[in-house]
């Protein structure tokens, strides 16, 4: 599989947030691009529509770290995404993308509506967050190639900075974005 170093839709969306993200822009953009590579690796026969859904979810999944300056960022991230979807006539994707974003830090396997894309996204984010130590079925050589071709650009240092900020704000809730249970079981 070939490493994709740029997703046009992601770049278009993130360009609107360049000023908010500031010096963390390359790191976040590269994180999004790496995880999309892992999503596409885990689902190689993905449809164009599902790929677009993942690209939109990826662009917005952590965005409220910057737009709302908070580590408890899942709800405002998918609220920012909902505005984008509405503005682009994609309201019918809102629930699916909300679940994808909301469950991407679930500590266990996601089961429920939109399970396939949600679980792929959750796994891909963890592959990148763990710097490839957790692979979730992604070949180690592909992980190496993605890391080589799409540099970290300080993304993990940014995460540490936000974690330290959160500890100062609420030391008893250092990781409020984690999900310990699947809230979408129907």
pLDDT digits (tens, 9 = 90+) for 153-176: 877 787 666 565 655 555 555 454
Per-residue model confidence (pLDDT) at position 174: 46
Q: Kindly tell me the burial class for residue 59, based on how many C-beta atoms sit within 10 Å of its own C-beta (0-12, 13-18, 19 or more).
A: buried
Contacts for 3-6 with beta carbons within 8 Å, 24 or more apart? 3/37, 3/142, 3/145, 3/146, 3/149, 3/150, 4/33, 4/36, 4/37, 4/40, 5/33, 5/149, 5/150, 6/33
**183: pLDDT confidence band, cut at 50, 70 and 90?**
low
- Render pLDDT for 75-134 as a digit per residue (tens, 0 to 9): 788 899 999 999 999 999 999 999 999 888 788 899 999 999 999 999 999 999 898 999
Instruction: List the domain range (segments joined by +) for residue 20.
Output: 8-169
Nearest Cα neighbor of 3 from 32, 36, 48, 45 is 36
Please give the tally of structural domains in the chain.
Answer: 1
Average pLDDT over residues 16-33: 96
Structural contact between residues 82 and 94, judged by C-beta atoms closer than 8 angstroms: yes
Q: Which residues pair with 106 in a beta bridge?
A: 179
CATH number at 68 reads 1.10.3210
Is 21 domain-assigned? Answer: yes
What is the dihedral angle through the alpha carbons of 55, 3, 154, 53, rounded to the nearest 10 degrees?
Answer: 10
Is 181 domain-assigned? Answer: no
Is 136 domain-assigned? Answer: yes
């Amino acid at each position: 599989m070939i490493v994709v170093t740029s997703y046009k839709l992601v770049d278009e969306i993130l360009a609107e947030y360049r000023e908010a993200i500031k010096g963390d822009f390359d790191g976040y953009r590269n994180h999004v691009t790496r995880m999309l590579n892992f999503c596409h690796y885990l689902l190689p026969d993905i449809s164009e529509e599902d790929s677009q859904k993942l690209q939109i979810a990826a662009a917005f999944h952590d965005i409220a770290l910057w737009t709302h300056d908070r580590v408890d960022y899942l709800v405002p991230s998918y609220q920012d995404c909902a505005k984008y979807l509405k503005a682009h006539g994609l309201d019918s994707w809102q629930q699916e993308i909300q679940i994808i974003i909301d469950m991407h830090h679930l500590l266990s396997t996601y089961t429920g509506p939109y399970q396939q894309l949600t679980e792929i996204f959750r796994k891909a984010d963890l592959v990148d967050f763990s710097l490839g130590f957790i692979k979730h079925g992604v070949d180690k050589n592909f992980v190496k190639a993605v890391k080589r071709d799409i540099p970290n650009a300080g993304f993990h240092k940014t995460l540490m900075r936000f974690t330290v900020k959160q500890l100062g704000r609420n030391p008893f809730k250092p990781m409020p974005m984690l999900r310990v249970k699947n809230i979408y079981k129907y």
